[in-house]
Amino acid sequence: MTEAGVNSTASLRRLVPRIFSKAQPSGAVETLMRTVRMHHPKADLGLIERAYTVAERAHEGQKRKSGEPYITHPIAVAQILADLGIGSKTVAAALLHDTVEDTAYTLDQVRADFGDEIAMLVDGVTKLDKVKYGDSTQAETVRKMIVAMSKDIRVLIIKLADRLHNARTWGFVPAESASRKATETLEIYAPLAHRLGIQAIKWELEDLSFAVLYPKLYAEIESLVRQRTPQREEFVQNVIDLVGEDLKASKIRGKVMGRPKQYYSIYQKMIVRGRDFDEIYDLVGIRVLVNSVRDCYAVLGSIHARWTPLPGRFKDYIATPKFNLYQSLHTTVIGPKGRAVEIQIRTHDMHQRAEYGVAAHWKYKERMNSGRTTDAQNANDTDMAWLAHISDWQAETADPGEFLDSLRFEIG
């Protein structure tokens, strides 16, 4: 059972913090270009401009449920991908992703105007859009998504960005439709983002879905968080300062920061694990980013020298990465005032992978493909490793229902 859906977009905008920048129609294309150029100095911006011109013409006169011109949607999807560091071909495909399905512009025209690669991406997203969702077909739907993705992971990354932007505007659609989409997002899209290691998309999808499905609970948790924030921030800053002192003493260059609490994650721990709010929220999370693996272990040593580690709470995901290639050191210590502090230690590269997963790999790959052959080959080898990893995951679960369960309930 779900509570009545959130009806106003203002509520969603107020409740859920944005992870990605929001491009508006005026200046949106310039913002998009700037973002792509920042990640890819040699990017083909002319390609993006052409894709935008074609998409704008194709969608002319169409409106979204919000009343905005339809072109604002493909621009927003392209912007999410640009923020992830994805290159110009994928961004161009994102601008065109709804043209074949919703306008007179055909796939053959996409191929003639933009080439086989972009046509393949647009076609992949169009096929995913045509799959109908429902209880009896969900497992098979996910299988089809995986098969489509196995051809090119970028198809799914575009689809995730498409779902994220649609989720941001659920306030404009009828409550029943928003609830159905939010359930589907929690069941399929957020777990897939998790499988691909794109935590930045996973977290926002979960919180947006949570706000729609359980608005009262969401508002209650948001209120509790707001009330506790001042005291918590003071404590977090104290821990950050002490860890910073240890870095200086060890002559290690690094960055120390607090980790924001995700509302859906708090809810999950309260409901699924039966913990109360105080127990979850008072557990402070700190992240330390350094330049090398050696520095990671040195920081771990200095933290364990300062504070007593809790037995059984140390995890070395650097030596043994998680299924989605996530790497980090995790430890929980008894910090100042006897309060537990969860600490993650990783390199800057590991952090990029932790936040953006396979998208971070694609950013690297697209850069390398315009550079030296050896690096480009290494990037392609890594890509094949990702695809093999996804195939193994599918092969592990032959039964479609079991496959969906493994997708939904896997805890890394």
In the residue annotation, 187 being an active-site residue is answered as: no
CA 139 to chain centroid: 22
SS3 222: helix
Other CB atoms within 10 Å distance of the CB of residue 273:
9
Q: 102, 342, 349, 410: which one is catalytic? A: 102
Q: What is the DSSP letter of 170?
A: G
Q: 68, 101, 184, 375: which one is catalytic? A: 101
Helix axes 72-84, 28-39, angle to 10 degrees: 20
Q: What is the Cβ-side half-sphere exposure of residue 358, based on CA atoms within 13 angstroms?
A: 27
| Contact status, residue 153 vs residue 196, Cβ threshold 8 Å | yes
CA 21 to chain centroid: 13
In the residue annotation, 162 being an active-site residue is answered as: no
CA distance 266 to 251: 36
Helix (H) or strand (E) holding 126: helix 116-130
Report long-range pairs for 405-410 (Cβ below 8 Å, ≥24 apart).
407/142, 407/188, 407/191, 407/192, 407/195, 408/187, 408/191, 410/191, 410/194, 410/195, 410/323
CA distance 71 to 105: 14
Catalytic residues: 101-102
